[in-house]
Amino acid sequence: MKDLLTTADLTPADFAELMRLTACYAQDPDHDPIFLHHGLVALHFTKPSTRTRVSTEAAVVRLGGTPITLSAAELQLGRGETIEDTARVLSSYVSALVIRSSSDAELARFAGAATVPVINALTDGHHPLQSLTDLFTLGQLFADLPGRRIAYVGAGNNVAVSLAQAAALSGVDIALATPDAYPPDAGGIRAAEQIAAATGSTVTCTRDPAEAVRGASAVYTDVWLSMGDPPHEAADRRAALAPYRVDSALMDRALPEAVFLHCLPAHRGEEVTADVIDGPRSVVFRQAANREPAAQAVLYALLRRKLQGRG
C-alpha cells in the first residue's frame, strides 16, 4: 500500500499491524529514533487542526525526520499551479505528504501524482488517522474488543464513516444513530458493510440513539457542524441533532462499563453534555494522546520498505 486515503484502503491484516505498531510506539515513543534518516515530511493543511498537525509533526520528529508545514497561502497552488505538478515537485524533496483538504477528489489527485506516500489528515469524507487512534484506544480499554458493540450518535460525517470502517476491520459491531437529514455517506457505509461481511461483524444504521447505544461498550460523538459543512446549516443542524446529544441518560442506556469517545474539538452543550465529556467515563484525552503513536505507526508502515528494506 502506497498511501492512506481512507480506512477502507486497509485490510484487516494491515489494520492489525498498525494496531501492533501503535502499541509499540505508545509504549516507547523513541523506539525508532533514526528511522526517517533526517528526511522531510510535508504537511499541507487547508483547514485548521490542533491534534492532527501537532501529533504528526511530533511523530516525524520522534522518527528522526523534520516536518515542514505548508499553508495554502505559502504554496503556488493558490496561484494556479496544478495539484499534479505540486505533488511531483514535493515528492522530490520529502519522504511523505500529509494532507488535510476538503476534497477527497483533490487528495486522490495528490496521491496519483506523488511518488511518495500521501496520508489523509482529514477530508470531508474521511479521517483515517483518527479511526486508527479510536480503535487502538478501545483496544487498550477492552482486551476482548472484537465482538463487542460500539455506537456513534450524531451527525453522519467523515469521523463516523472512518470509525465504521475501522470497527469493521477490527471485527467490532457498530451502530450509527443519525437523523434522516444528516446521514453518513452511503458509499462509505457500504464499504464498511463489505468489510464487516468479511470479518463477521455488523454495521447498523438507525435514527434512534437509544437503539444504537443498547449493549454498547462505547458511545462516540463528533461536532454537529464539521469544517466542511456550510456554516449556514448551523441552526438547522442544531435543531435536527438536539435529540442526538450524548448526555448521562443516554450513556446509562449503554453497558455499565461503557466509555465515551470524541475525536475533539468538542462543543459542550451541543453534541455532548459537560458532565459526560468531563466525567469518569470519558476517555477523550487518552484518545487525543494516542494520536501521536498512531501517526508514528502509519509513517513507519508506509515508509519502511523504502527506507529500511523491511516488509
Q: Which of 100, 109, 149, 237 is catalytic?
A: 100
Residue 52 or 157: the one with the smaller Cβ distance to ligand CP is 52
Least spacing, CB of residue 276 vs ligand NVA, in Å: 18
**Residue 109 bears catalytic tag:** no
Residue 40 or 289: the one with the smaller Cβ distance to ligand CP is 289
Q: What is the largest CA-CA distance in the chain?
A: 55
Window of 38-46, 142-150, 226-234, 299-307 that interacts with ligand NVA by CB under 6 A: 226-234
Least spacing, CB of residue 110 vs ligand NVA, in Å: 18
Under rule CB under 6 A, residue 157 binds ligand CP: no
Residue 51 or 149: the one with the smaller Cβ distance to ligand CP is 51
Calpha distance 311→303 (Å, rounded)? 10
Calpha distance 134→157 (Å, rounded)? 15
Under rule CB under 6 A, residue 264 binds ligand CP: yes
Residue 54 or 255: the one with the smaller Cβ distance to ligand CP is 54
Contacted by 98, from ligand CP, ligand NVA, none: CB < 5 to 8 Å by type: none
Out of 26, 98, 122, 164, the residue judged to bind ligand CP by CB under 6 A: 122
Phi, psi at 151, each rounded to 5°: -125, 140
Least spacing, CB of residue 287 vs ligand CP, in Å: 8
Entry field: residues in the chain:
311
Cell numbers describing residue 200: 463477521
Out of 157, 201, 273, 296, the residue judged to bind ligand NVA by CB under 6 A: 157
Least spacing, CB of residue 49 vs ligand CP, in Å: 3
Calpha distance 100→102 (Å, rounded)? 7
Contacted by 162, from ligand NVA, ligand CP, none: CB < 5 to 8 Å by type: none
- Backbone angle region of 82, left / alpha / beta, with phi > 0 → left and psi within -120 to 50 → alpha: beta
**Residue 291 bears catalytic tag:** yes
Listed in sequence order, the residues at least 6 apart from 222 whose beta carbon sits closer than 8 Å to its beta carbon are: 152, 154, 155, 157, 159, 160, 262, 263, 271
Instruction: Compute CA distances 148 → 4, 254, 258, 263, whole Å.
Output: 26, 12, 11, 20
Q: Which of 109, 127, 245, 281 is catalytic?
A: 127
Under rule CB under 6 A, residue 42 binds ligand NVA: no
Q: Which of 222, 245, 287, 296 is catalytic?
A: 222
For 178, half-sphere exposure in the C-beta direction (CA atoms, 13 angstrom radius) is: 26
Out of 46, 95, 158, 170, the residue judged to bind ligand NVA by CB under 6 A: 158
Written as one string, the DSSP assignment of 117-144 is: -EEES--SS--HHHHHHHHHHHHHH-TT
> Cell 483533490 belongs to which residue?
106
**Residue 236 bears catalytic tag:** no
Under rule CB under 6 A, residue 222 binds ligand NVA: yes
**Residue 140 bears catalytic tag:** no
**Residue 127 bears catalytic tag:** yes
Residue 196 or 246: the one with the smaller Cβ distance to ligand CP is 246
Calpha distance 308→310 (Å, rounded)? 5
Alpha helices in the chain (DSSP H): 12-27, 51-62, 83-91, 104-113, 128-141, 158-169, 186-199, 209-213, 234-241, 248-251, 274-277, 284-289, 291-308
**Residues lying near ligand NVA in the complex (CB under 6 A):** 122, 157-159, 222-223, 226-228, 263
Residues marked as catalytic: 100, 127, 130, 222, 263, 291
